[in-house]
Chains A and B, each alone.
Chain A
């Protein structure tokens, strides 16, 4: 095991001598570094000689120790003597007084009011970008619909599979459990009044008008919105988006249209599926409360009208456009750096959820005035 040693002595001519010996590397120097530094700093007016005659090996870490001794601000000089020429060549590479000179940008601390203003401006810019993007995406979609042959259908089907078919298990699980839990929680109190059969009405109306579509939209935001943002974000980081632009291919048309079309094709189907499975979950609970499946179906048939169904189902088209669109937008907005893709994925999910709530609210008000 190699070690480093330090011996401090006073020379007759008034100089302080620090004799370093042994091996100077990252493993050995922590022991001597602090003592050596103290010996240099405690007598700032006396010249110091670091005698390195006994140093057998000195790597970058050892050189760092010597540089640290040389760079101390003091009145009398510090010098290193008798260092083996090959190690001395390493030492000579550094100017001890030039190691702290940074060009790094200052981290500005701003007053709260300025921060508030900046944040507002950023939010305003983001809102404008979103509006611009809605315009671009609509133009791209409209042109795609006018010229269906320009749509890259192979990509659309691939995205359809990922957005639609691959999401079936999770949509089924969540809707089934949701129907099961909701019906159970409402059946227990309603049984006190002998009204548990009306749980079928509740589940039927709830799933069809609101929850089937809403659950699907939330799953879509978490699964596909995030996936779109990550995919396009990675393309942005790898300069693939720049490559598309310089080839004269509009990234919005190339990447966004296919994803939005796929989402619009798949989300209504998934919503339909979620409604049915949710009701199945309700029927399952009802069975345990002694209400047969046929009764459940009859009750749902009498309670839920076609208008109810349409009022819920129509929303799935709007949700699909919003979630796929915001996922792609956040992907396109990705900045540089390793955390950038993660950030845009998070933003895609959060913005998607916010949009879902806003759109659902708008529909609720609209239906109230339309008396649906």
Chain B
């Protein structure tokens, strides 16, 4: 595995909506096989950063290079090739309500592979079993709980074994056991297949368990205020906001 190679490079990214700047001049790199966590308080632009990194919204200025291609300028076949390199799990799950879980996971396979229906079914079942939902393959999304929908959405994002997985708050709404299982799954995929993860999350326990590197965003500077290993950041950072973020959450956990 080409560990250490840069797979995502965000260059001078300025982003926002309808003329309102939320993030200004952001620069960072994500390496292949890394579990990269984006952290920060509410409204600091975590989801905005994620949505601009995957090309969902046009950036105000700057570039996002994914596996050597600039998603900001890519069009047509190049854009399709970039989209094939990553999978996305949205905060709400965004499963297709009229399709069963199996059909949801199978949909990208039907579109992009030449596998038989039975082979796709097996593969989709395996993806669902990874997130503990193999017994619910024939259920519709509205027949299962919110946490289960989220896990099914992760299974769908993994359908084509992408090199990169973008997860928007994967463990929010999950019970601690499922959340820990999900962390183990993320770590296993990163270690054995070299899958790169870009994760937006608040869960400190989960961050310590999985993150290789984190960046922390702050809305006052519209950018990154801390970048590095989560434990070192907790113990060594002098920024009062960063300290408060880690220690206040830790206090709450101890209380």
Contact = CB atoms under 8 A, between A and B. Distances in A.
Do A and B interact with each other, yes or no? yes
Interface in A43-97: 59-61, 63-65, 67-68, 86-87, 89-90, 93-94
A1 interface: no
A248 B129 CA distance: 43
B10 interface: no
A338 B98 contact: yes
B123 A61 contact: yes
B115 A61 contact: yes
A30 interface: yes
Given A89-B192, A336-B142, A104 B136 contact: yes
A90 B98 contact: no
Interface in A165-210: none
A338 B160 contact: no
B130 interface: yes
A93 B130 contact: yes
B122 A68 contact: yes
A314 interface: no
A30 to B, nearest CB: 5
Nearest to A34: B116
B135 A103 contact: yes
A370 interface: no
B161 interface: yes
Contacts of A67: 122, 126
Contact of A104 (B112, B119, B129, B138): B138
Given A99-B126, A337-B97, A30 B115 contact: yes
A60 B192 contact: no
A99 B130 CA distance: 11
A64 B188 contact: no
A60 B114 contact: no
Contacts of B123: 26, 60-61, 64
A98 B134 contact: yes
A60 B126 contact: yes
B122 A64 contact: yes
Listed residue (A33, A64, A98, A339) with the most chain B CB atoms within 10 angstroms of its CB: A64
Contacts of A90: 188, 192-193
Interface in A129-165: none
Interface string A4-28: 0000000000000000000001110
A94 B115 contact: no
B127 A338 contact: no
B236 to A, nearest CB: 33
A101 interface: yes
Contacts of B188: 89-90, 93
A101 B134 contact: yes
B97 A27 contact: no
A102 interface: yes
Contacts of A59: 161, 193
Contact of B126 (A29, A33, A64, A87): A64
B2 to A, nearest CB: 12
Contacts of B140: 337
A99 B125 contact: yes
A339 B136 contact: no
B158 interface: yes
B193 A338 contact: no
A65 B158 CA distance: 17
A104 B125 CA distance: 13
Nearest to B192: A86
Contacts of A64: 119, 122-123, 126
B138 A102 contact: yes
Listed residue (A26, A67, A100, A105) with the most chain B CB atoms within 10 angstroms of its CB: A26
Nearest to A99: B125
Given A60-B158, A64-B126, A67-B122, A86 B96 contact: no
A102 B137 contact: yes
Contact of A103 (B136, B141, B142): B136
B139 interface: yes
5 contacts: A30-B116, A30-B119, A60-B161, A99-B126, A338-B98
Interface of B: 96-98, 109, 112-116, 119, 122-123, 125-127, 129-130, 134-142, 158, 160-161, 188, 191-193
